[in-house]
Amino acid sequence: MLDWLVIWGVAQGAGLIFKPILEDLAKDAAKDWAKDILKGIPGKVFEKLKKEDIEIAAGKALKEFLQLMQQQLKVRCKLPEGEIKEYTGDIKKFISDKSVKETLGRAFDISWEDLNYRILEDSWQKLQLKALPAKFNWELLTEQYFIQVQELLEKSKELHSILELQKLSSIETNTKELAGIVADFNLVKYQEAIRESYGNLKLDSLDTTGYAYNELKLWRMFIAQNVREVHQVLPQVHELPKEHLKRLRESDQLEAEIAAEELENHKRVYLEQPIRSVLDVVNEKQTYKYIVVLGDPGSGKSTLLQYLALNWAESPLDNVISLPIPLLIELRTYMRRRDDKECHNFLEFFHKCSGAITHLNQHQLHEQLKAGNALVMFDGLDEVFDPGKREDVITDIHRFTNDYPNVQVIVTSRVIGYKPQRLRDAEFRHLMLQDLDSEQIQDFIHRWHELTFSDEADKVRKRERLQRGIEASKAITELAGNPLLLTMMAILNRNQELPRDRAELYNQASRVLLHQWDVERALVEDHRLDNKTIDYKDKQAMLRQVAYSMQTSDKGLAGNLISASQLENILAAYLRTLEINQPRQAARVMINQLRTRNFMLCFLGADYYAFVHRTFLEYFCAWEFVWQFKETQTLSIEELKQEVFGKHWQDETWHEVLLLIAGIIEAKFVGEVIKYLMVQDGETEQFLNLFLAAKCLAEVRNRQEIEVIADKLLNKLKDLTKYDLWYYYYTPYRDEEETQLVQEIRTQAVVEIATTWIKSPQTFTWLKDRATNDARYDVRQAAVQELARGYKDDPQTLSFLKDLATNDARYNVRQAAVQELGKYFKNQPELFDIYYNCVVNDPFQRKYNWESNPRQTTLEIIVKQYPQHERTLPLLRDRAENDPDEQVREYAQQQLKQWEG
């Protein structure tokens, strides 16, 4: 048996602190770990090497790399041996990373002049390993490593064969090119490279738990988003937070670069554009020959292009020959290679550059492009940050379309900072990616759980938990429209319940957007100021202070507005605490980064900024209060109750902030807050104090500590289900508005009880009793709805609702049961007769508490869920002529036109 440590020179390397790493690799000699490192050398050379040669080369290279790392930490950074040893586990994880192994292996390729040290530096940050000392120099380390490996190839008897094989291969290639012999245009190999590069969803930057998403193929998870065509690309139309555009105009806080009337006209034109599937648009090659796809970070731009490439790669070879070849170019990589003089144009990039996923001979590629047999995709125009270089890229793209006029071309970019005129002049049409709609979100959730869970019961439970979590919060529902943030929710939902952990969801989302989102895209060049790293924790701290400043302004949280000068002052003050030189200049760098990269702030024009998503404003504002309460202890529990909750419980725009605070602080303090809220006089505010208290209780993980307080709150809410205005007992006249107000209070009390105490067995029993026996029909309706929503999986619920729908004496209770059956128990044959009877025989009437005729809503259930039933079409014909309500007749007539016409 070979002694690998002796062969690698480890035994002679006295004092190698990281020796245990190589000892572990020596034990795994039977595995193929070494092959990943030598993938960097040309394929023809690799194929001729013996397994033993590969393991010798990889082991010796790693030994040199570890020695150089140790030398940096010991000599350059002056760390004692004990502190250096603390890096052992992280370094082992580091050299196991695929991108790191491939980078280290490129030192064996004689065609390479040097290595890109940034890949190693970025990988260390991406893996979230222990921070290296400020003096640690990746560039020097990488340069020394490259030299050491090249010397190994020259001097080592065992490794010299690799060098000789490469030289022979290089001579052979050069000879063929001089003789005009064209290398193979290997489409099978290209298919394999696309599948390997883009086949799996890359979730390492989102999920740091190490969970393996082995079955989660992009091919199977991709959801075709919708797009609207954009005829006038204006940041004011697309960049502003939607809910604030009108408010800012009315309050004269925003000076428009164009007239408000003209801006509104552009927005109206945009919204009038039809919404279409992006794949349908791409497939109309003649109409949409040149396309720019615009969208926010994480909105799915890159995923779309990768899917289009995979669509080709997954096709049988017989079909591939006749299909356009997808050429996907990541523009940030292309520009780096062009700056390094590796290539001068896109064809050379594919022919020989290291950034291409596989090499395609440019002569044959030229012929394919001339014939129009390609789909060329340029990803990330916004990620070429230098304005001059971005103009150069646009020039290259424009020249490319002139050279190859028969090729379909797609470009992607963020809206922010995008200038459309030059590509519009080149006949590019612009499309805006839309947020995922509710059906697409449900489709994603279904596929995710089908592919990531093997246990059926666990799959169903987690899927429904995620659905409830998204539906339970308007803020989370809005975020779920972004594919990146929806994926974060799905990952987080594996181990915790979203509604209770919104704060943790926002924390993880902000961490990814502020740090790993940059690292994943190799955008870390200005994270360092004065040799100090500005990490995501610093950015979070700055945003906490920004949000706090916003909420203490005259407009408060409703404004979501801060001037550029105020924003700069806040960031500069924080940066001074880090002892950053020229903090104001550094603050401007940070503002630009938070705006253009991190999906946090957006520019409103006229030197004003806002949070892109109101949710993050609320989160960072809440976190700042918690920070003062827990960390700096400058906010006492009495001040938290009176100054924060006391001043804002009446304002519903503050409720999300208050709930986030309740979700973060300890249960005993939430109990104090709930007691405070319960003693407030909330009748004039429709008992917002009690409803907010219930929502705060729902945020508490361990309620046992405040069980007595929770019971008192429950009793108060039960009393509210019987609430009435005192003067109703003394007058026969009831104002309709007041009647509706009373009903809203009663029904909300039912909802809060059912939601907050959903896990209590007594709640199910109480809801059934209220649905059957309460003297107030509005309470009965609400109880029916909450039973169906919260207990649809209980075997008693279906039979209970069927009985109410058929036999209850109150028409509105029957109708509530019918609607809930249609919502939660779809396509069940046994329910058809109940629905049919409700449409034909039940004298439902239109009431102010029903938006439409109850017969129509029931008829809609039949049309959607039982279109093939033998009695559905005759029923539509009958209602179209005979229903006493005009709207029901019109609905039936419209359906008949679609079915028969």
Q: What is the pLDDT of residues 448-470, one digit of tens each?
A: 998 888 889 889 999 988 998 88
Euclidean distance between CA atoms 107 and 145, whole angstroms: 8
In DSSP notation, 611-629 reads ESSHHHHHHHHHHHHHIII
Average pLDDT over the chain, rounded to an integer: 81
Neighbours of 402 (CB within 10 A): 9
Average pLDDT for 341-370: 83
Match 């994926």 to its residue by tokens: 487
pLDDT at 829 exceeding the cut of 80? yes
String of b and e for 582-607 (b: at least 16 CB within 10 Å)? ebeebbbbbbebbbbbbbbbbbbbee
d(C-alpha 145, C-alpha 67), whole Å: 10
What pLDDT does 532 receive? 63
- Residue (of 600, 664, 598) closest to 627 by Cα position: 664
CA distance 13 to 17: 10
pLDDT-based confidence at residue 528 (cuts at 50, 70, 90): very low
pLDDT value of residue 616: 85
Would the pTM count as exceeding 0.75? Answer: no
Residue 172 tokens, joined: 């052979």
From the CB of residue 809, how many other CB atoms can be counted at a distance below 10 Å?
6
pLDDT score for 109: 65
Distance from C-alpha of 362 to C-alpha of 347, rounded to nearest angstrom: 5
Q: Is the pLDDT of residue 804 over 60?
A: yes
Say yes or no to pLDDT of 268 above 60.
yes
Beta strand pairing call for 532-533 and 528-529: antiparallel
529 is written with which tokens?
Answer: 């100021």
- Look up residue 860 and give its two tokens: 């809609």
Q: What is the torsion angle, in degrees rounded to the nearest 10, for the CA atoms of residue 101, residue 106, residue 109 and residue 111?
A: 160
Of 852, 854, 834, the C-alpha closest to 844 is: 854
Q: Which of 279-293, 543-557, 575-589, 693-707 has the lowest mean pLDDT?
A: 543-557
- State residue 315's pLDDT score: 81
The predicted pLDDT at position 849 comes to 40
pLDDT over 50 at 179, yes or no: no
Residue 530 has pLDDT above 70, yes or no: no
Taking every pair of Cα atoms in the chain, the longest distance, rounded to a whole number of angstroms, is: 107
Whether 393 and 381 have beta carbons less than 8 Å apart is answered as yes
According to DSSP, the β-strands at 408-413 and 374-379 are parallel
